[in-house]
Amino acid sequence: MSSAEPTEAEPTEAGPTEQTGPVVRESGRGPRPAAPVPPALPGLAESARRLADATTTSTALVADALARIEATQPTLNAFRHLRAASALAEAAEADRRLAAGERLPLLGVPVAVKDDTDVAGLPTHFGCDGDLPPVASDSEAVRRLRAAGAVVVGKTNSCELGQWPFTEGTAFGATRNPWNTAHTPGGSSGGSAAAVAAGLVPAALGSDGAGSVRIPAAWTHLVGIKPQRGRISVHPHSDSFQGLTVNGPLARTVADAALLLDAVAGAHPEDFHRPPAVRAADAARRDPGRLRIALAWRPPLTLTGAGPDPEVRRAVTALAETLARLGHHVEEARPRYGLIGLAFVPRATAGIAEFAARHPEPALLDPRTRSALRTGTRLGGRAVRAARAREVRQHRRIGALFDASGFDVLLTPTTAAPPPRIGRFDDLSAWRTDVAMAAACPYAWPWNVLGWPGVNVPAGFTRSGLPVGAQLLGPSRSEERLISLAAQLEDDLRWFERRPPV
């Protein structure tokens, strides 16, 4: 992806030969024919409030979510699996509990999860083709969602094994951006981002191993939180993608993202990483104080020579000026990334190899996945151990921006480019795909190596109406500060008032 994305207005219709692929229902039937699109669902906190006040019912919210999903599936293709019958039964039970006076943070609220997340009774395809058996148990994150009362309506599309910043594949077609369906919503949590941006669900879980929550949040005008490693359990995996991947929320507002984070945060007994608890929803209501913010334009070394697209730079500059107007000290700085990519590549490809090796029909995998599998197999073992051993030194070197230089937050573009067109990465070799995505998305992945938190915030739009974002990055366990700062920005910019024309 070059950084010279065209800025003229582009068509919003899908091409006539594009196949979106049917969503799979519990019964095995495809969706009903497209119907008129119901109104967008309210946000997460607002849905919970209306349920507690008895001004709506869980059955009504879940039915509206399912109707909106099916009505938009032919164009957006956000979902891989729907739990229509089970979700409606769970909504009816939530209504009985609400009527009896029970209160939980998300009791009766519909949400979605990404299809790398185990939901009992459904297969976990993780973007892959083939017939996979249903899993027997919920992941820890889904167990916590259910404990908070949420109703999981379905699983959203992901690119194959979460490798790329687009959500397209032979298994399910292309997931499209609600702001302009000729463009990708990003990846790999593109289905979750498209679903939330289009108002199909109030909020959704994604996962982030190299920016896979923050990139689609940037390209769909959402708040996306990549939490500290271990903040949200990845069980049944103990250390997903060699510690790179974490789960995180996508929502239209900071308060909704924080509410979802609080609902799912916490460790499974077998988890390796156990950071102390945070109170994200409280942080979203708290003034961040006056902060020192470093603005960094130079990405880590990717050998592509890519800098930010002029429209991305304009949007992030405007956001930095807003932060200065709000009383923060903002100055340009250069984090000492070093050769952090040498630690990322072995861990990422070894993680892909671990997941790909579990697929019962490897011949169905994308050739680029099979290439990553071979690379990850070669780089496994000693190379991965060496890469992980470097993390302590990387913490010290990059952490000097916060410790020695005294900055509280690092601000960068989330991506170097606006959202690419659907099909931009088709028919590319593994190497050319890696180069193209490194040019488009060079900023997010170092924080996965470090395991530290980051928050994407909407930064505005290109002249042709495509969303772009900025990321607020912090040192270890700094979610509350980042969330408070994001909420202050949201109060000023009120980005949630602008919605896509679905």
The residue whose two tokens read 């470097």 is 390
Q: 295: buried, middle or exposed (CB in 10 Å: 19+, 13-18, 0-12)?
A: buried
The gap between the terminal CA atoms of the chain, to the nearest Å, is 26
Count the neighbouring beta carbons within 10 Å of the beta carbon of residue 475.
20
Residue listed under structure tokens 């929550």: 213
With H, G, I as helix, E, B as strand and everything else as coil, classify residue 363: helix
Q: Please, where are the H alpha helices in 30-154?
A: 44-52, 58-72, 84-99, 140-147
With beta carbons less than 8 A apart as the criterion, state whether 231 and 278 touch.
yes
Where are the extended beta strands (E) located within 449-498? 454-461, 467-473
Residue 17, exposed/middle/buried by CB under 10 A (0-12, 13-18, 19+)?
A: exposed
> What is the Cα–Cα distance from 331 to 340, expressed in whole angstroms?
24
Among candidate residues 86, 114, 226, 233, the one labeled active-site is: 114
- Give the active site residue among 3, 86, 158, 212: 212
- CA separation for the pair 285, 223 (Å, rounded): 16
Closest CA to 153 of 161, 145, 165: 145
CA dihedral 123→195→436→305, nearest 10 degrees, is -130
The span from the CA of 277 to the CA of 280, in Å, is 9
238 catalytic per annotation: no
Out of 47, 158, 188, 207, pick the active-site residue: 188
Residues 155, 301: Cα–Cα separation, whole Å: 35
Contact present, 279 and 386 (Cβ < 8 Å) = no
Asked about 114 being catalytic, the answer comes back as yes
Give the whole-angstrom CA distance, residue 93 versus residue 300: 50
- In whole angstroms, what is the distance from residue 219 CA to residue 196 CA? 12
The amino acid at 214? R
- The helix (H) or strand (E) run that includes residue 101 is none
Pairing status of strand 454-461 against strand 467-473? antiparallel
Cα–Cα distances (Å) from 71 to 156, 195, 266, 419, 437, in that order, read 15, 12, 35, 24, 31
Residue 268: partners with Cβ closer than 8 Å, 6 or more residues away:
140, 233, 235
> Where do the H-state alpha helices sit in 104-213?
140-147, 190-197
- In 168-301, the DSSP E strands lie at 168-169, 173-174, 203-208, 223-226, 246-251, 292-295
Peptide bond into 429 cis (omega under 30): no
Q: Which residues form the catalytic set?
A: 114, 188, 212
